[in-house]
Structure 1
Amino acid sequence: MGSSSTFFKLGPVRQSSLPFGDLSCSPSVRLGPWDKGSVGWALSGPKWKQPKISTLAPSGWKAGDGCEVVRTGSASARASASAVLAELTWKLILTSLSPGFFIWWLFHWGMEHLPVEVIGNILSRLRAARDVVIASATCKKWREAWRNHLHTLSFNSNDWPVYHDLSARKLEILITQTIFQTTGLQCLSIFMDDVDEFSAAPVIAWLMYTRETLRQLHYNVKTTPNVNIIEKCGRHKLEVLALANNSITGVEPSYQRFPCLKSLSLSHVSISALELSLLLTACSKLETLALINPDIAMSDAQATMELNSLSLKDIYIEAISMDKFILEADSLENLHLKDCTLEFFELVSKGALRVLKIDDVSVIHLDIGENTENLEVVDVSSFTIMWPKFYHMISKASRLRRLRLWGVVFDDEDEVVDLETISVCFPRLSQLSLSYDLRDGVLHCGLQGSSHLENVVLLEVGWTIINDLFSEWVAGLLERCPNLKKLVIYGVVSEAKSHEECQILASFTSSIVRLMRKYIHVEVEFEYE
């Protein structure tokens, strides 16, 4: 690579094309040397001066290679543009298919040789609307890429502090002005935490303008009056839809179909049980569904919520409270229930389930069906279980690789996790995580038997209230895991410890030290909180 530099212009830029602010100058930018192994941005005054060339550069690079920016204008304008261009370059390097080849190609051939489609992809990688707009001011070619080849745009209140100071009306104008200068958006994200609500008219305008090309829509702002986003986006190419703080009404599956939708997330959304069921019917290719604290209206005649999907593979349900929930999903592979209160939950499927996660759920009757042969992960935490019934539910899972029972409470005080049963029924188990209250007498029942957990290589154990039985329990578990590689012990240590608690903790520490001398091949890790 030679030492000659490549020039391109950052202007002149029309004020109307910069909704996020004026650069206040028509600067020149020069690509030059590397500085200390990273992209260095050297700024000069009104007249360009050849800056010093750093001798510290990546191996194999010559002086004059790399990147160096020189521009004119106010100091604040120089700093602003340089910061954006530096971030752009780093993101451009980090996200390229082959960073080494890309750096060589970029600085050897120069910016002007970048195809406009590639520039559009670079701008899309930035995502944040303000960064995209400022970077697109680089030159005419980059502005063309913004207009015709930008496919991702995000308006997020966390990306720019000024968003917090703007009124809803000014934000609507800003977003409208920016979106309407693009022609092929595929991913649009609007997350404004400080905005109470947007007017319906601009929101409808954004959706109508982009819906022919849009593949992903993430939207979390209330609108007044309510906008039927389902109606505006149906029958088009949408693949991902994430809605929050909105209402969904008037779902008509025969008209509002989503032939391409694969992922649907509804967070704090108001919808009736019937319309939620109809919405799933309208999504024939839906694979992922997330329901997070939805406001689900149940009619007097419908005490049960029934959802049916032939294509659904992954469902996440959080903060739902109702009497009866029936999910019919033949292809479901991943079921995650979190912070739910249910009297009855039933999964009707054909045995495709691979991952079952239950976190802080209160349910009287739980039924995931008899076909559990394909289960690979069972993760249960902060949950009251009847062990014989729960074990029967998962006992056919001969492919189980990970079993986690953490902070569980047994419905019957005499119940305990039976290691003999686990070792016989789950021969492929490689990770075992157990944490529950230990009681004298019951503990020995759980450790009875002689079968080994041959494939367990990671063992995690924990306590909330430590007692003298814990070290004995750990010793019994270690004997059953002959090929163990790592032991992780989780514990809760109160700030105000009594003398008795200190003695128990000291005794436990001494016991573990003596025990691990017998298992020197096992890595031990402690996690206390």
Structure 2
Amino acid sequence: MEHLPTELIGNIISRLGPARDVVIASTTCKQWRHAFCSHLPTLSFSSNDWPSDHGTSQLEILVSRTLLQTTGLQGLSISMDEIGEFSASVVISWLTGVDPNYQGFSCLKSLSLKYVSISALDLSLLLTACPKIEILDLVNLEIAMSDTQHKVELRSPTLKSICVEQISLDEFILEADSLERLHLKDCQLKLIKLVGKGTLKQLVIDYVTSNAVTSTHLDIGDNLLENLEVVDIYEFTIIWPQFYKMISRSSKLRRLRLWDVFFDDKNEIVDLETFSVCFPQLSHLSLWYVYLRDGVHYALPGSSHLENVIEMELGWTTINELFPDWVEGLVKRCPNLRKLVIHGQDMDSEETEECMRLTSLIKHLINDKYEHVEV
């Protein structure tokens, strides 16, 4: 081991996983200690990795002291779901209080905070202290606000991917000129605002609701979505004219998923004609079967084909006699389709029997008329 480069030793001990094991390994010898302090690439703190008799304040001090000893971290994860309220703000205060010139986050590229509390101001300052940050995961944070503050504002010129999960806020504002992936999951947000320079490639909104009577307002400039390749929307209320206006310039879109979405105006109809004109490179399409209005099949108005769609997923909440016609109408408009997947819902025995009859009908229909499609 003494012949290995110190950088390699740092990489090896970081792969032990829990920070507790990494710290213990660093006491092996001077070379390993040096590797820990100067060449440790990643560090992961979890409440499961420490003795149960360690209280919250003890863990806050342990995390702080450990971070003070490392200078080159590129990845940091803190997950404290098994203890009381762990304060990341206390850790930040402790670090800067001991060392006002603390530069421990200067090399950080990946940061994950889960099940911790932090003030909105400290979260913003923490991101500013990471000049090379590229990946940010924020899960189930308890975000403290001042009396005059109702929003979280984050800014980073280097951030490429952010995932925000299980967070409740009035306003979430993100300014990120290099952002490529935005994922919002299980959140309560009144306003989502993105400011950038058109680098976004993936937009994923998974069960996001407003904590008000109105639907969540999505504020993303039209010019920011020109390079969008993936749009995945699940259980989210869409104001379709506004949403369509945003994504209509996304000519590079390859995957579109509108799954179990709700429309702010129940008279709105999403149609394949729109998809054909705006998304010529679309190859994967996922749609949810919703109500029919005035006898018009949802998503079927127009006659244009989606030439590049090779895989399609269709789902439903309430199945009826019109569902097979809707499925065939979609398949007919995708001449190069290779795979069709149909998802259902839990149901009682009577619904199960009807579902089996209709899905069997669909399978025979597709197999007889579209032999090239795998159902």
Which band: TM-score by shorter chain?
0.7 to 0.9
2 CA distance for matches of 1:123 and 1:276? 28
CA displacement at 1:355 relative to structure 2: 0.4
Aligned residue identity for 1:423? S
Partner of 2:230: 377
* Change in CA separation of 1:122 and 1:488 when aligned onto 2, cut-off 3 Å: farther
Aligned residue identity for 1:431? H
Q: Does 1:334 align with 2:197?
A: no
CA displacement at 1:480 relative to structure 2: 0.5
Q: For 1:325-474, what aligned pairs fall within 5 Å after superposition?
A: 325-363=172-210, 364-371=216-223, 372-439=225-292, 441=294, 443-444=296-297, 446-474=299-327
* Change in CA separation of 1:255 and 1:355 when aligned onto 2, cut-off 3 Å: same
Q: Spell out, residue by residue over 1:111-144, the C-alpha distance to the aligned partner (whole angstroms, 9 max, x if none).
A: xxx984299969966xxxxxxxxxxxxxxxxxxx
Aligned residue identity for 2:287? L
Aligned residue identity for 2:267? D
SS in 2 for 1:340: strand
Partner of 1:284: 131
User: Which residues of structure 2 form unaligned runs of 5+?
Assistant: 211-215
2 CA distance for matches of 1:511 and 1:251? 68
Work out whether residues 285 and 311 of structure 2, in 8 Å CA contact, stay in contact via their aligned partners in 1: yes
* Change in CA separation of 1:409 and 1:215 when aligned onto 2, cut-off 3 Å: closer
1 CA distance for matches of 2:247 and 2:309? 18
Partner of 2:213: none
SS in 2 for 1:331: coil
Partner of 2:171: 324
Q: Does 1:189 align with 2:47?
A: no
CA RMSD of aligned residues (A): 3.3
Q: Does 1:521 align with 2:372?
A: yes
Match of residue 70, structure 2, among 168, 186, 211? 211
User: Which residues of structure 1 form unaligned runs of 5+?
Assistant: 1-113, 126-149, 157-171, 235-249, 525-529
Q: Does 1:117 align with 2:4?
A: yes
Q: For 1:501-512, what aligned pairs fall within 5 Å after superposition?
A: 502-512=353-363
Aligned residue identity for 1:317? V
CA displacement at 1:192 relative to structure 2: 4.2
CA displacement at 1:340 relative to structure 2: 0.9
Match of residue 484, structure 1, among 337, 350, 353? 337
Work out whether residues 358 and 383 of structure 1, in 8 Å CA contact, stay in contact via their aligned partners in 2: yes
Match of residue 155, structure 1, among 15, 18, 25? 18
1 CA distance for matches of 2:147 and 2:295? 46
CA displacement at 1:406 relative to structure 2: 0.7
Partner of 1:74: none
Normalized against structure 2, the TM-score is what?
0.83
Q: For 1:42-81, what aligned pairs fall within 5 Å after superposition?
A: none
Normalized against structure 1, the TM-score is what?
0.60
2 CA distance for matches of 1:123 and 1:312? 25
Work out whether residues 120 and 152 of structure 2, in 8 Å CA contact, stay in contact via their aligned partners in 1: yes
* Higher-Rg member (1/2): 1
CA displacement at 1:503 relative to structure 2: 3.3
CA displacement at 1:229 relative to structure 2: 4.1
Aligned residue identity for 1:117? L
SS in 1 for 2:369: coil
Q: Does 1:298 align with 2:157?
A: no
2 CA distance for matches of 1:471 and 1:253? 67
Partner of 1:270: 117
Q: Spell out, residue by residue over 1:81-107, the C-alpha distance to the aligned partner (whole angstroms, 9 max, x if none).
A: xxxxxxxxxxxxxxxxxxxxxxxxxxx
CA displacement at 1:231 relative to structure 2: 6.3
Work out whether residues 74 and 109 of structure 2, in 8 Å CA contact, stay in contact via their aligned partners in 1: no
* Change in CA separation of 1:452 and 1:253 when aligned onto 2, cut-off 3 Å: farther
1 CA distance for matches of 2:104 and 2:2? 37
Q: Spell out, residue by residue over 1:144-203, the C-alpha distance to the aligned partner (whole angstroms, 9 max, x if none).
A: xxxxxx4543338xxxxxxxxxxxxxxx8x876543223213144343427363536655
* Change in CA separation of 1:461 and 1:204 when aligned onto 2, cut-off 3 Å: closer
2 CA distance for matches of 1:327 and 1:446? 33
Aligned residue identity for 1:522? V
2 CA distance for matches of 1:315 and 1:203? 23
Work out whether residues 471 and 512 of structure 1, in 8 Å CA contact, stay in contact via their aligned partners in 2: no
